Amino acid sequence: MYRTNTCGELTMKNVGQQVTLCGWLQRSRDLGGMTFVDLRDRYGITQLAFNMDTNPALCEQARRLGREYVIQATGTVIERASKNSKIPTGDIEIEVSQLTVLNESKTPPFTIEDNSDGGDDIRMKYRYLDIRRSPVRRNLELRHRMAMLVRNYLSNLDFLEIETPMLIKSTPEGARDFVVPSRMNPGEFYALPQSPQQYKQLLMVAGMDRYFQIVRCFRDEDLRADRQPEFTQIDCEMSFVHQEDILNTFEGLAKHLFHELKGLDFTQFPRITWHDAMRLYGSDKPDIRFGMRFVELNVVAKGAGFALFDNAELVVGINAEGCAEYTRKQLDALTDFVKKPQVGAGGLVYIKYNTDGTFKSSVDKFFSQDSLQLFAQQFNAHPGDLMLILCGPAMKTRVQLSALRLEMASRLGLRNPDVYAPLWVVDFPLLEWDEETQRYYAMHHPFTAPKPEDESFLDDPSRWGDIRANAYDIVINGVEVGGGSIRIHDRTLQNKMFHTLGFTDQSAAAQFGFLMDAFTYGAPPHAGLAFGFDRLCSLFGGADSIRDFIAFPKNNSGRDVMSGSPAPISQEQLDELHIALTPQN
């Protein structure tokens, strides 16, 4: 037997037992008469003790072991003299009688301990060593546990996990496809799925009325922070359901995860329309762990001769409670923040509501104390508060204020990762105008159904921007963790939608013909959604980065620095694939 126990389980109960453990040497301490070794495996750390007096040869052997050597040790469990209350095995140690080196190790390039001395890059290059560290290991354990909870929960609700192909024809989710050349079909390419969207809809036509899949998806996007070119979704679809059924089913799943993993129980998740989310938070994924809702100020701000306000489409602000004492320096820092190119505001107006009831603002020249009082009333502000105001084109300004709202919340410590505030954002716009290409795109994807009451607007291009979709996102702590929609199951409406999006009959048929054909054979009403599984894991793990929850992630330029991919391929392979590279200079 290689081992009788793991390194994480022996306690005072086991004292006196003869055991054999295997693992990696995390650290050793040579105290002259005694040598101690911390032996680590996936389950924990157990101390091995070697006594110079009773077994000098073995002790000598132990002293020669290097870090990360793989060893097997047999001995007796004994009570420790100096206990370590920080680890479960801290009351005992193994008095070793036999030691075998199973494999040696080069000195690792960073310390494999909870707080490693290795930077991000080196840890990614040697990710297999990084995973030996318990914080990373714990993240992967959490991910596994979540996958099991999801599978069981959905399976109990009669969902079937069905695999869909990876080599497919393009599915539009708004990103570029990764493509795979076909050797057998020269000049033709598969796409890797951006999502299984069309296949899951076909499964509904096929009568598999509750589908899910924990599935890898691929999107060739410019990598913004915390995106991965390949990522995992919990992809779901249901037939014969209304939006209400979908929201309830998947809210149920989210609640189940909160209950099992965090011991938290929620009543109904709040719901907010996209329109209100933008108006009150300037974001379609509002962080509602805290208030600081937007207050619109046009009525009190305009007409005082302050040109910036007078000419702005919208004057809007937030009230930072208790921040009237902010210093010049702190206010300057906030101004610098909103002026950063990533935020893009022209400037920041502040009004301090001093504790003595007077006001001090950056626009005192234009507004009397009485006028500032009117602002305070709009904000429902109290003495001691600080009102922060932006102005400009409505949507742009809201988005800028949203950044300031989050910044203020961070400064005020209101974004506690242990507090969870989930909500649904519903009634997304169906279409989104793109300035660059001067046309509308599907905000979610082209299979999303308009709200029946807005459907007639499809006939009037001037109203396209007003069409609301039966589309919804689930948001937790300002992070979009999932989204979906009611699908169009009617061929005529789907065709109309394709035309709206600029497809001709031919181009729609070439791209989506198979789905459209399927819809002529009795497509049931259906709807679904997908959770971003990596993101959900990072949220439950209380970390910001999804990379920490992926065993072998890519870096910010989409590279796997460990294996060195992407990489060139041989001329022979290129020839076989009928690919001629154009020289790059």
Question: Any bridge partners for residue 480, and if so which?
Answer: 475
Q: How far is the CB of 485 from ligand ASP (least distance, A)?
A: 5
Could you identify the residue written with the tokens 């820092």?
A: 333
Interaction of residue 484 with ligand ASP, rule CB under 6 A? yes
Kindly state the smallest distance separating residue 476's Cβ from ligand ASP, in Å: 16
**Under rule CB under 6 A, how many of the chain's residues touch ligand ASP?**
9
| Nearest distance from C-beta of residue 151 to ligand ASP, angstroms | 18
Read off the tokens for 414.
Answer: 């209101």
Q: Which region among 16-24, 115-123, 220-228, 480-488 touches ligand ASP (by CB under 6 A)?
A: 480-488
Closer CB to ligand ASP, 58 or 469, in the complex: 469
Q: Which residues pair with 91 in a beta bridge?
A: none
**Helices 491-500 and 505-518 meet at what angle, rounded to 10?**
150
Find how far residue 325's CA is from the centre of its chain: 36
Least separation in angstroms between CB 527 and ligand ASP: 8
| DSSP line for 431-444 | EEEETTTTEEEESS
CB of 484 to ligand ASP, least distance (A): 4
Window 401 to 440, contacts with ligand ASP (CB under 6 A):
none
For the CB of residue 376, give the shortest distance to ligand ASP in the complex, in Å: 43
Nearer to ligand ASP, 238 or 312 (CB): 238
* Count of CB atoms situated within 10 Å of the CB of 55: 17
Residues numbered 501 to 530 that lie near ligand ASP (CB under 6 A) are 528-530
Provide, rounded to whole angstroms, the least separation between the CB of residue 122 and ligand ASP.
34
- Residues 108, 172, 193, 483: which binds ligand ASP (CB under 6 A)? 483
Cα–Cα distance between 227 and 188 in angstroms, integer? 28
- Among candidate residues 227, 233, 239, the one with its CA nearest the CA of residue 193: 233
Whole-number minimum distance, CB 243 to ligand ASP, in Å? 12
Q: Closest approach of Cβ 329 to ligand ASP, in Å?
A: 43
Decide whether 222 or 435 has the Cβ nearer to ligand ASP. 222
How far is CA 308 from each of CA 1, 261, 315, 349, 471, rounded to the nearest angstrom? 79, 50, 9, 10, 37
In this structure, which amino acid lies at residue 201? Answer: Q
Q: Where are the alpha helices (DSSP H) in 64-158?
A: 120-125, 127-130, 134-156
In sequence order, the β-bridge partners of residue 230 are: 218
Give the CA count within 13 Å in the CB-facing half-sphere of 140.
14
| Of 112 and 203, CB closest to ligand ASP | 203
> Tokens standing for 290?
């805290």
Residue 173 CB, shortest distance to ligand ASP, in Å, is 5
Phi/psi at 550 (5° precision): -120, 130
Contact residue for ligand ASP among 68, 93, 173, 321 (CB under 6 A): 173
Work out which of 5, 197, 249, 495 binds ligand ASP, going by CB under 6 A.
Answer: 197
Pairing of strands 471-476, 386-392: unpaired
Tokens of 120: 């991000």
Query: Which position's Cβ is nearest ligand ASP?
Result: 195
Nearest to 225 by CA among 537, 552, 545, 535: 545
Task: Take residue 455 and report the two structure tokens written for it.
Answer: 């459907």
Handedness of CA 13, 17, 21, 25 (dihedral sign): positive
Q: Does 494 bind ligand ASP (CB under 6 A)?
A: no
Residue closer to ligand ASP, measured from CB, 508 or 529: 529
Q: Per CB under 6 A, which region of 10-18, 48-56, 245-253, 477-485 contacts ligand ASP?
A: 477-485
Residue closer to ligand ASP (CB basis): 35 or 249? 249
Token readout for 314 is 């919208």
Indicate the residue among 40 and 444 with the shorter CB distance to ligand ASP. 444
Give the residues across from 179 on adjacent strands.
Answer: 191
Choose one: 5-13, 239-247, 455-463, 483-491; the region binding ligand ASP (CB under 6 A): 483-491
Q: Binder to ligand ASP among 28, 400, 485, 494 (CB under 6 A)?
A: 485
Q: Tokens 């702590």 belong to which residue?
A: 477
Among 164, 195, 228, 361, binds ligand ASP (CB under 6 A): 195
* Minimum CB distance to ligand ASP, residue 445 (Å): 6
Which token pair is 461?
Answer: 């291009």
- Output the six-digit token pair for 525: 């009403």
Identify which of residues 204 and 278 has a Cβ nearer to ligand ASP in the complex.
204
- Which residues contribute to the site for ligand ASP (CB under 6 A)? 173, 195, 197, 483-485, 528-530
